[in-house]
Structure 1
Amino acid sequence: MRELILLRHAHAEPAANGQEDIDRPLSPVGLAEAEAAGKWLTENNLLPDCVVCSPSRRTRETLEAVLGKTGFVEKMLENRIYDATPGALTDVIEKRWDVDRLLVVGHNPGLEQLVPFLTEGSSSDYRGMAPGGIAVLTFKGDSTIEPGAATLTQFWWP
């Protein structure tokens, strides 16, 4: 079994006057959500082997709070995760399909569309993913990343 953990960044501050969206930090509530996500992953023994993260400030801060609870692992920033479509996310994931448990930290709507794409084969019927939310997808054996190949085994939000 392979597992893919999708983590949406926690709540962020609104953009300040003249601030770029990519530079928005976590809010105090978001920091607490991110720490809770890390605690949940640890309590459920869902410790990633590797993390791929959007370069936005809020995703990086979410990741650091999570890793503060789970312990540090190999991590890399991937520009394509910011504003990604399910297809772009699939490409990013395929490049790290060599690990047993991959954590992707990103944004909506890409993440919330990726879940039904990988579990049901369509990205048009998605139900949302709250800030700080986690979806755990399981792939059998040597499954590839393709529409309908995964099972949603756990879903959590703060």
Structure 2
Amino acid sequence: MRELILLRHAHAEPASTGQEDLDRPLSPVGLAEAEAAGKWLKENNLTPDSVLCSPARRTRETLEAVVGVIGYAEQKLEDAVYDATPGTLARLIDDRRDVERLLVVGHNPGLEQLVALMSDGSSSDYRGMPPGGIAVLQFDKTSAIEPGAASLTAFWWP
């Protein structure tokens, strides 16, 4: 079995005047949420083998806080994770079939729609994924990333 861990970035500061969305940092609450996410992953023995992370500052800071708790994992900033649709995320994940436990740090609505699509077969009835939330999906090693191919084995939020 392979595992996919989807982590939505923790709470971020609102954009200040003229600030790009990509440059929004975590808030103090968000930093605490990200550290809590790292603790939950560690306590549940869910250390990733590899990480794909959006280039947005808030996702990078979320990942830094998580890695500070769980220890180093191979990391790649992936531009396509920012503002990704479920289809884009599925393609990126499918390209990493060699990874047994992949962590993707990204954004809504793409992450929450991907959870619904992979576990229920439809992204039209997604239920939400709060900031700092984690969804763990498990699927067969040989399965393609496609609707209904995974089981949602854990869902956590700070």
Over aligned residues, Cα RMSD in angstroms?
Answer: 0.6
Any runs of at least 4 consecutive aligned residues in structure 1 with deviations exceeding 2 A, and if so which? none
Alignment of 1:1-158 (within 5 A): 1-158=1-158
Unaligned runs of 5+ in 2: none
The letter of the residue matching 2:82 is Y
C-alpha displacement at 1:121, in angstroms? 1.1
Residue 143 of structure 1 and its aligned partner are, at CA, apart by 1.6
Displacement of 1:83: 0.6
**Structure 1 residue 138, shift from structure 2 partner:** 0.4
Equivalent AA in structure 1 for residue 17 of structure 2: N
Q: Partners in 1 of 2:129 and 2:60 — Cα distance?
A: 18
Paired AA for residue 83 in structure 2: D
Distance apart, 1:76 and its partner CA: 0.2
Q: Aligned partners of 1:125, 1:145: CA distance in 2, in Å?
A: 19
Measured after TM superposition, the shift of residue 28 of structure 1 is 0.3
Alpha-carbon distance between aligned partners in 1 of 2:48 and 2:99, rounded to the nearest angstrom: 9
Match of 1:125, SS? coil
User: Which amino acid is 1:157 matched to?
Assistant: W
1:67-98 CA distance string (max 9 Å, x none):
00010010000101111000000111111121
Report percent identity of matched pairs.
75
Q: CA deviation at 1:36?
A: 0.2
